[in-house]
Amino acid sequence: MNRPLIIIGGVAVVVIAIVAFLILTGAGTRPAPAVAGAVEIWGFGDNENIWQDLINRFQAAYPSVSVVYRRFDRSGYEDMLVNRLAEGKGPDVFFLPHTAIVKHRDKIFPLPKDAGFSASDFKNTFVDAAADDLISEQGEILGMPMFMDTLALFYNKDIFNAAGIAEPPKTWDSFAALSRLLTVLGPGGDIAQSGAALGASKNVRHSFEILSALMLQKNGIARAVGATSFGTGAAEALAFYASFSDALTQNYSWDRNAPDSLDAFAQGDTAMMIGFSEDLADIRERNPHLNFAVSPLPQNAGAGASATWGEHFFPAVSRQSKNQQAAWQFVLFASSRAGVKPYLDAARRPPARRDIAGAGASNEDLSVFWRQSLTARSWPVPDDAPTRRLFGEAMDAAVSRSASPAGAVSRLESQLRLFTP
């Protein structure tokens, strides 16, 4: 939907600067409408009703801007978006997962430099992972985060209680020790009860994110957009991860032929799994009676600052949009405290804003994820789909011992360069 943008008063740049500053710093929640126009938004994942509520609140504050939201299935969303943008028929605002920023940077219209909201303001407003993802090397703001989900440890309380274990593990050493204690092997060496669903690629939910988190905790990934490089910590992280699916190691607790890790956890067949807040509903839908809890992602003993993988998708303004100022006005409102808080409550997502994260979760289920949003980290993924495939191949090579962890990481690094813009 590309309709002409009507600028009220002829000073849109000045007004949007004021709007940006007031909204994002919290100094105001309903400044006077600055622009007029029609904005079409494409997204995925969230229920349309959640976005319609946000749109209704935005249009009550800015009646001169009309907004339409279209929701698509996640599976074919990226290809369709790229094709429509290539045809000049794309939306004014489109949602991207943060792992797609590097690949699609050229399609994004950043917040104007004179908009009154700087990179420094962004860092003071949002958690560090969002700043790392959405502020370019040139200091441009590419989008505004709506939430920040993180990896955490899910554990079966009944299995823990039966084994006399009172608390979940806080370190990876403790995690491995408990996994060994809770893994039960059958007479033929098959796994009757898994201590931890970890190590494989295809049947471990979020395997790419888990291995990335392990590597980041060991400072094994050098954060760079131009070329991803891995340090010795990356091979150490891969060796640890793969050991849980390698029958020749003492950590063996997960069969590569087992069902999906979330299904196994929901059925009570594994004591521990690693997942995001969005997995809570899936687990309860599969087994409403499962007695489980969530704790922070384990850390390396004595490693210093805590870290976990942070995941989010965000609204970006299209470089092709003819309504860029109206589009940015919506994005600014959606990510403001007044705009995003009802969204977070309805979507049951952890916040990316510091002022909300610091206030604590109103829902106990999400308390771990709210706290962890402040310690979330990621790295610039060059191209999401092939990167996940290459990580999976590295995991499988380490598990099967067809390559050493160091060799698998070296191959991974060289192959990732092929997908780096």
Lateral strand order in the sheet of 152-156: 272-275, 152-156, 292-296
**pLDDT, averaged across the chain:** 90
Separation CA 149–CA 297 (nearest Å): 12
Q: What pLDDT is recorded for position 421? A: 67
Q: pLDDT by residue for the chain (421 residues), tens digit each?
A: 443 333 333 344 444 444 454 445 443 334 444 578 899 999 998 888 899 999 999 999 999 999 999 999 988 999 999 999 999 999 999 999 999 999 999 999 999 988 889 999 999 999 999 999 999 999 999 999 999 999 999 999 999 999 999 999 999 999 999 999 999 998 888 999 999 999 999 999 999 999 999 999 999 987 666 678 899 999 999 999 999 999 999 999 999 899 999 999 999 999 999 999 999 999 999 999 999 999 999 999 877 678 999 999 999 999 999 999 999 999 999 999 999 999 999 999 999 999 999 887 778 889 999 999 999 999 999 999 999 999 999 999 999 999 999 999 999 999 998 887 6
Separation CA 145–CA 352 (nearest Å): 6
Transcribe 85-152 into DSSP letters: HHTT---SEEEEEGGGHHHHGGGB-PPPTTSS--HHHHHHHB-HHHHHHHB-TTS-B----S--EE-E
Q: Does domain 6-148+312-374 have CATH number 3.40.190.10?
A: yes
Neighbours of 53 (CB within 10 A): 14
Q: What residue segments make up the domains of the chain, in order of their start?
A: 6-148+312-374, 150-309+382-419
Please identify which residue in the block is written with the tokens 């955490």: 152
Please identify which residue in the block is written with the tokens 């309504």: 323
Share of the chain above pLDDT 70, in %: 90
Exposed (0-12), middle (13-18) or buried (19+): which is 310, by Cβ within 10 Å?
buried
What would you report as the CA-atom Rg of the chain, rounded to the nearest whole angstrom?
23
Domain 150-309+382-419 falls in which CATH fold?
Answer: D-Maltodextrin-Binding Protein; domain 2 (3.40.190)
212-268: per-residue pLDDT in tens? 999 999 999 876 666 788 999 999 999 999 999 999 999 999 998 999 999 999 999
Task: Tell me whether domains 6-148+312-374 and 150-309+382-419 share a fold.
Answer: yes
Q: What pLDDT is recorded for position 5? A: 38
Tell me the pairing of strands 292-296 and 93-97: unpaired
Q: What pLDDT is recorded for position 32? A: 41
Predicted TM-score (pTM) of this structure: 0.91
348-383: per-residue pLDDT in tens? 999 999 999 988 777 888 999 999 999 999 999 999
Give the up-direction half-sphere exposure of residue 166: CA atoms within 13 A in the CB hemisphere: 0
Tell me the pairing of strands 308-311 and 376-377: parallel
With a CB cutoff of 8 Å and minimum separation 6, the contacts of 273 are 153, 154, 196, 197, 198, 205, 261, 262, 264, 265
